Structure 1
Amino acid sequence: MDGKDGTVAQVLRRRELGRALLARQWLLERAEATAEETVTRLVGMQAQAPYAPYFGLWSRLRKFGTADLADALTERRLVRVALMRSTIHLVTTADYRSLRPWAQPALDRELDTAFKTILTGLDRAAVAESGRALLGARHLTPKELRAALHERWPDREPRALATVVRNLVPLVQVPPRAVWGVGGTTRYATAADWTGAEPAPAADSEHIVLRYLAAFGPASVTDVQTWAGRTRLRPVLERLRPQLAVFHDERGIELFDLPDAPRPGADAHAPVRFLPEYDNLLASHADRTRVISEQDRKRVMTRNGMRATFLVDGQVTGAWKLHLGKASATLEIDPFRPLATTERAEVEAEGARLLEFAAPGTDHDVRSGRATFIGREDAVTGEETDRQ
């Protein structure tokens, strides 16, 4: 297929795109890296299920223990804050500063759509400043923040008021929330107070798109927009075009990539990997068929969220759920198709390693069954997921 400069662009088939994505996500081969290095490479990890990133990091790193992430949270090196697609992401404190202005259009659009009628005539800036002052005095739970704002604006819906603060004032969910083995109620602090730094004054869009391609490419304009939760990003890709490699997929859609990024062949070995709920591998492209079929995507995406999944030969092949008890732990797997004997053995072996990571020193069991998604709770811990 001809590119815009008259050259013939290489066609990348679905399986090749999948292998490229898995290589960059460190899901073909686990990496020697720290939790912070990995979160940086991935441009953040979706994290409204509080413990989900622990499993996402375990699946990508050769050496990772729960304390590695727990310590980074308590020491304020990593934070959980609303970013891309107006969802909670785990990021480094440096990336909170650069990514928040990039994500702001999505946060603004949420207020203008989901809360448009409720917020009509409201001085949003005044609500934001009131929330900033309240959180400057002490850390508040969502319920406490809603109640305090409602006292000043009694004619307004409390949840909408709190969302104005969340979307206009970067808020960090402070530990012990999301600290492995401790957990606790969601409490907010302003990100500026918690990290000691305000967001950057403006987003470096070109730099962020290059980082996205490094972690998720090759990708189309609509893929980038899906990941960001933003529209009208084609001009950014056009400015970058001279320094990018350009391909097409099997449908003729133009794909952009970093010239030297890994693009292993379709026959590259893809081992079994377990992904947590909301993993960005499944949320960062308009066309997700490189790693999940449309039929299976409908099984994974529920009314309340995204199930934890496992990959076989580079494709989502089933869901999983972990049941943790005081003296035992059971991994329940739900294959979406019959598994060959060798595939089942590999799934069970990787599942046994996951159990050893999550529940060392207890009795372990891997069972095949229906891994039912449990509403708005973290399927690993039973904790409620963090929408706000």
Structure 2
Amino acid sequence: MADDVTPRVLNRTLLARQHLLERLPADDPRADPVALTAHLLGLQAQEPMPPYLSVAARADADPRHLSRALAERSVLRVLPMRGTIHTVTADDARLLRPLVQPFLDKVSRNSGASRPAAHVPLADLLAEGRALMSDGPVPVRALGAALAERFTDAPPSALVNRLREGAALVQVPPRGLWGRPGGVAYVTLESWLGEPDGAFDLGADPAAETEAQAEGLARVVRRYLAAFGPATPADVTTWSGITGVRAVFDALGDELVPLRTDDGRTVWDLAGAPLTDADVPAPVRFLGRYDNVWLSHAGRDRVTPPDARRRWMGSNGGVGSVVLVDGVMAGLWSTTAGGEVEVELFDRVSRAQRSDLDAEAARVEALLAVPADEEAAA
């Protein structure tokens, strides 16, 4: 019989597994930005700043360390989960991209940004794109213009979108480096990692790919639960876009244990993984406009009360960077021209929480004042 688990326990357990209850000290190996990125299965990176804020909320880490990992190709800016840019480790780029390809194919068919190029034969588009990037990264605008010279009946932006959904492309530095400006320029993941062309394409050996993908998805589910659990197959699909996850949960058998929520649903966890007590305090944390801690469950309510989420969403989503108070989204923050942090809270907080907000705001101000990463840019 499944044990009961309350929403508060689910909240605190998620925060603990995300390292948002206790910030990792700098000398902890788990605080290394590559190790932390791997544990979290990637950092939301639709904008350059959120990955650095995600790391800083969880670990005492110099932002230039993550920046140098980008420059050294230990972590990469790619398009995996949910069709959004993430910073992931090189190993996870290899693992995740084939698994999410069916979802990205669906995006290409249905997205207004890609559909105007849907009639272009994908094999021809991939071949042309790879040829254009064969000598190195190409800025996104130049890439679109060159593709449009070949495929004259499709808009440049739609061609680029379909290309990046059909082939694994990397947004190369200086894009994403700490304190360094940089527009989007693409090169193939194979080229960036020194792999042969087409190494991440599907279709060469369907039987071998099916087996490898099943094994890969089982590894991903275990790691997802370690960072985001307890959870359901639908949660994994919300996080990744990958379907058919229920069969993986079933195949894991005794590796997983069921838990029953207050509303009668069943969630699963890794056998032996500890749950966090509901009474454990949750400190104030400042995060970026996007962070997978509130984007990776089907209900998306582990840390986001509905009213708070609506205020964060605005009309188009992600209107501001997020403040967590007592483990939930409680406000937004921004910076002034002078580099000071301003906070807009959704409700009143206690005097102790106000003191914590001030301390965390000062911490973010100090982070944002760290000089640009000249070493990575060299």
The TM-score, its normalising length taken from structure 2, stands at: 0.89
2:374 corresponding residue in structure 1: none
Q: Partner of 2:162: helix, strand, or coil?
A: helix
Q: CA deviation at 1:330?
A: 1.0
- Alignment pair present for 1:76 and 2:73: yes
Aligned match of 2:91:
94
1:48 CA displacement: 1.1
Match of 1:278 in 2: 290
What is the match of residue 44 of structure 1?
Answer: 42
CA distance 1:267–1:140, change in 2 (3 Å)? same
Supply the AA of the counterpart residue of 1:75.
E
* 2:180 alignment partner, SS class: coil
Shift of 1:360: 5.2
Q: Which whole-Å CA distance do the structure 1 matches of 2:335 and 2:102 have between them?
A: 36
- The Cα RMSD (Å) is 1.7
Q: How many residues align?
A: 350
Gaps in structure 1 of 5+ consecutive residues: 1-7, 362-388
**Superposed displacement of residue 185, structure 1:** 1.2
CA distance in 2, matches of 1:215, 1:190: 29
The aligned runs of 1:138-287 (5 Å cut-off) are: 138-197=136-195, 198-199=199-200, 202-203=212-213, 204-287=216-299
Q: Quick one: structure 1 residues 211 and 99, their matched pair in 2 at CA, closer, same or farther if it must change by over 3 Å?
A: same
Instruction: Write the deviation string for residues 270-319 of structure 1: whole angstroms up to 9, x where unpaired.
Output: 11111112100011001122211111111112444423111111111111
Matches of 2:47 and 2:186, distance apart in 1? 16
Match of 2:376 in 1: none
Give the drift of 1:21.
0.2
1:317 aligns with 2:330: yes
Deviation at 1:47, TM superposition (A): 0.6
Q: CA offsets, 1:6-39, max 9 Å, x none? A: xx21121111000010000000011222000000
- The farther-off stretch of 109-118 and 340-349 is 109-118
1:88 Cα offset (Å)? 0.5
Q: Is the CA contact 2:118–2:162 (under 8 Å) kept in the aligned structure 1? A: no
Helix, strand or coil at the partner of 2:133 = helix
Instruction: Tell me whether 1:334 sits opposite 2:321 in the alignment.
Output: no
Secondary structure of 2:170's match? strand
1:343 and 2:343 equivalent? no
> Counterparts of 1:108 and 1:305 in 2: how far apart (Å)?
23
Task: After TM superposition, give the deviation of residue 120 of structure 1 in Å.
Answer: 4.7
Q: What does residue 375 of structure 2 align with?
A: none
Q: Distance in 2 between matches of 1:42 and 1:286?
A: 17
Once the two structures are superposed, what CA deviation does each residue of 1:128-165 show, in whole Å capped at 9, x if it has no partner? 11111101123212111111111111111222211121
| Alpha-carbon distance change, 73 to 286 in structure 1, aligned in 2, over 3 angstroms | same
- Closer, same or farther: CA 23–159 of 1 in aligned 2, 3 Å: same
The 2-side partners of 1:262 and 1:308 are apart by 30
* Inter-partner Cα distance in structure 2 for 1:128 and 1:262: 46
Q: 1:109 aligns with which of 93, 106, 109?
A: 106
Cα distance in 2 for residues equivalent to 1:316 and 1:271: 12
Whole-angstrom CA distance in 1 between matches of 2:49 and 2:8: 30
Q: Equivalents in 1 of 2:228, 2:251: separation in Å?
A: 19
> Deviation digits for residues 151-198 of structure 1, max 9, x if unmatched?
111111222211121011111111111111112111111111111134
Alpha carbons 1:175, 1:183 under 8 Å: kept? no
Establish whether residue 30 from structure 1 lines up as the match of residue 23 from structure 2.
yes
More helix by share: 2
SS in 1 for 2:134: helix
Tell me if the contact between 1:128 and 1:169 (Cα under 8 Å) persists in the aligned partners.
yes
Q: Secondary structure at the match of 1:138?
A: coil
Distance 1:84 1:212 in 2: 12
Note the residue ranges of structure 2 that are not aligned, 5 or more in a row. Answer: 202-208, 372-378
Q: CA deviation at 1:118?
A: 2.7
- Cα distance in 1 between the residues matched to 2:177 and 2:120: 37
Contact 1:278-1:305 at 8 Å conserved across structures:
no
Shift of 1:322: 2.1
Q: Which amino acid aligns with 2:200?
A: P
Counterpart secondary structure, 1:329: coil
1:17 aligns with 2:10: yes
8 Å contact from structure 1 (residues 220, 253) kept in 2: no
Letter in 1 for 2:325: V
* Contact preservation (8 Å) 2:34, 2:75: yes
- What letter matches 2:93 in structure 1? Y
2:286/2:323 contact within 8 Å kept: yes
- In 1, Cα distance between equivalents of 2:72 and 2:365: 27
**Equivalent-residue separation in structure 1 for 2:367 and 2:308 (angstroms):** 27
Q: 1:98 touches 1:199 (CA, 8 Å); kept in 2?
A: no
**1:199: how far off?**
3.4
Change (3 A) 1:195 1:273: same
The letter of the residue matching 1:271 is P
